[in-house]
Structure 1
Amino acid sequence: MIELSGVTKQYGQTAVLKDVSLTIDEPGIYCLLGRNGAGKTTLLKSIAGYQNISYGEIRVNNQLITTATLDTGVSYIENFAKHFHLPVKKLLHIAGEVNPNYDFAFATEMMERFELDGKKKFHHLSLGMKTMVSTIICLASNKNVILLDEPVLGFDAIMRVEFYNMLSESFQKHPRIILVSTHIIEEITKTIQKLIILDKGRIRFFDTLQAVEKQAYSISGLKSDVEAATKNLNVIGQDSVGGLVTSYIFDTPPKQIASLEIHPLTLQDFFIQMVGHRGGIQK
């Protein structure tokens, strides 16, 4: 379980996380979405105990998390970690030596699947392969909480598909909380159970993909008709061209109206409307 209560993280006078409260209490694969600078990496580092927060409290499995916590129960590896310039196979062995629950068989299987050369030193790998090695080490740790920060960075399309398969296999073998930060939205929808949207340091959305499918849609038509139809609905964005208006909604859909067009939003369009801050619409 991950519990955040009133979490704020400041760098000088700038607050990167702002009074964030969040509880993840069930095993599952969760997706963390946000624009660059939204605070995603800061959030993951704080949960992992890599840095202290300014205010609030973070607990993992009821244990208070700070940089002084000896075993947080969290596996997280920063992007661009140097890993001491060691050979890949040596890195996997070291990870197993310091963690008695390490799944070396899984790590070895994934090494073979992704054709990773165990003799090659980490800093000689491509960006995608570096990211893959870090991800394999994280997943093989068998920790109760896995945090993956942009794990498909540098992957081509085929590697991304294989990664999502690996993620699902790892979860099926060892159900736990896996929190994945990514920019590639649509591809991960088949893998995740719930979506978290972080925007300007605050949680804007935390729910299932089914909620998006049922309640996220657009209504288009003449301005007067759209305004009448959306008067009591949760409008998350709006576009207008001349007298025609498209409003983006997250709410219970109204009955079909002949003068209006109502269409479901893709996850990407929903995300854009939630964090786009366009047109003066109050988010």
Structure 2
Amino acid sequence: MNSQNPVIQVDGLSRSYRDVAALWDVTFSLQPNMICGLLGRNGAGKTTLMRMLTGQDFPSAGSVRLFGENPVENSTVLQQICFVSEAQRYPDGFQARHVLAGAPWFFADWDAAFADDLVGKFRLPLKRDVKKLSRGQQSALGVIVGLASRASITIFDEPYLGLDAVARHTFYDTLLADYAERPRTILLSTHLIDEVSNLLEHVLVLDEGRLLLDQSAESLRGSAAAVAGRAGDVDSFVEGRQILHRDTLGGLATVTIAGRLTAADHRAATAANLEIAPVSFQQLIVDLSTRSAPAPAVASVVHE
């Protein structure tokens, strides 16, 4: 575990909009130099959290600290952050080359040579208006800005969804290679959980505004298994274990259970004619999300 002070510290964070609680009592901290996945379904509160991390929104309760300071209107903090969003907008008439030329004004560690290399990798047309770029080209522009910023905290809010599969894997490979040479804190918000699972060192999962999971990715891998077979045999095997999900079809059942199975467990499953299968990272997150309880009512959110 990194013994340094957290680069991101969130305590009791809540945010409500009229009668909707977007976030509820969220608390976590991230140490410097890690790749963290921010996961959850649409409407889980991910974008709200990222907007507050980058000083674009205000808490209804609780606090956000980056490098120990409030990011709101704090130029010292904000110049160390790069927030790349799929919804990023630029002035009319702005071309891709204008975005890259202006980047050094916002990012002290901007690497123009790296940006030029990425322009070639992603085949980005520099002299085309941003609003006339295809969705994939706009995504490529966001990825280039995020990577070449070399910001101490780089947050990607799904800007790479417009990329095709080849371009996305180019992004993942480039991100890992550059991170290995220049470690920093990277927060990836994505629905493509299995695609990024091997990149992640830590996982935050939001569901209905609550923090459902705050755990190292390594501890999550292999932390659940699917047991399939005759329903009665499956029920006997999983008795007393934490059940994450259950499917039945006729007299057959498949049950996802939490926890790592021992060699003795595998022998017992074989003896009972049961099949044991690993659970993908994405399926584990889905199972955890679908079994979570509803968020509290907005009326109980305390406003400052």
TM-score, L = length of structure 2: 0.84
More moved, 48-57 vs 266-275: 266-275
| Alignment equivalent of 1:265, drawn from 279, 293, 300 | 279
- Name whichever of 116-125 and 74-83 sits farther off: 74-83
Could you tell me how far apart the structure 2 residues matched to 1:116 and 1:199 are?
36
Cα distance in 1 between the residues matched to 2:150 and 2:282: 31
Task: Give the 3-state SS of the residue equivalent to 1:64 in structure 2.
Answer: coil
Inter-CA distance 99–213: structure 2 relative to 1 (3 Å threshold): closer
- Aligned twin of 1:39: 45
Q: Which has the higher contact order (CA 8 A, sep 6+)?
A: 2
> Is 1:90 aligned to residue 98 of structure 2?
yes
Q: Distance in 2 between matches of 1:140 and 1:89?
A: 14
> Would you say 1:80 and 2:102 are equivalent positions?
no
Q: What root-mean-square deviation, in Å, do the aligned CA atoms of Structure 1 and Structure 2 show?
A: 2.1
Q: Is the aligned partner of 1:69 residue 2:74?
A: yes
Once the two structures are superposed, residues 230-267 of structure 1 have per-residue CA deviations (whole angstroms, 9 ceiling, x without a partner) of 33322222222344332212213251222133221011
Cα deviation, 1:24-81, whole Å, max 9, x if unaligned, reads 1141222222111111111111111111111111111111233x32333321033232
Segments of 5+ residues of structure 1 without an aligned counterpart are none
Which residue in the other structure is 1:216 paired with?
A: 224
- TM superposition shift of 1:222: 4.0
Which of 106, 128, 134 matches 2:136?
A: 128
1:139 corresponds to which letter in structure 2? L
SS at match of 2:212: strand
Aligned to 2:175: 167
Checking the alignment, whether the CA contact within 8 Å between 2:85 and 2:158 is kept in structure 1 is: no
Distance in 1 of aligned mates of 2:65 and 2:141: 28
Corresponding residue of 1:21: 27
Q: Which amino acid aligns with 2:183?
A: P
1:155 is paired with a residue whose SS is coil
Partner residue of 2:126 out of 109, 118, 129:
118
Distance 1:10 1:282, change over 3 A: closer
Number of residue pairs matched?
Answer: 279
Retained in 1: the 8 A contact 2:201–2:218?
no
Query: 2:85·2:159 contact (CA, 8 Å) conserved in 1?
Result: no
CA displacement 1:113-133 (0-9 Å, x = unmatched): 212122112111111111221
1:12/1:112 Cα in 2 relative to 1: closer, same or farther (>3 Å)?
A: same
Q: Give the AA of the match of 1:184.
A: L
Cα distance between partner residues in 2 of 1:26 and 1:264: 31
The correspondence of residues 151-162 of structure 1 with structure 2, limited to 5 A, is: 151-162=159-170
| Contact 1:102–1:142 (CA under 8 A) maintained in structure 2 | yes
CA distance in 2, matches of 1:135, 1:57: 29
The residue type equivalent to 2:259 in the other structure is: D
Distance 1:249 1:27 in 2: 32
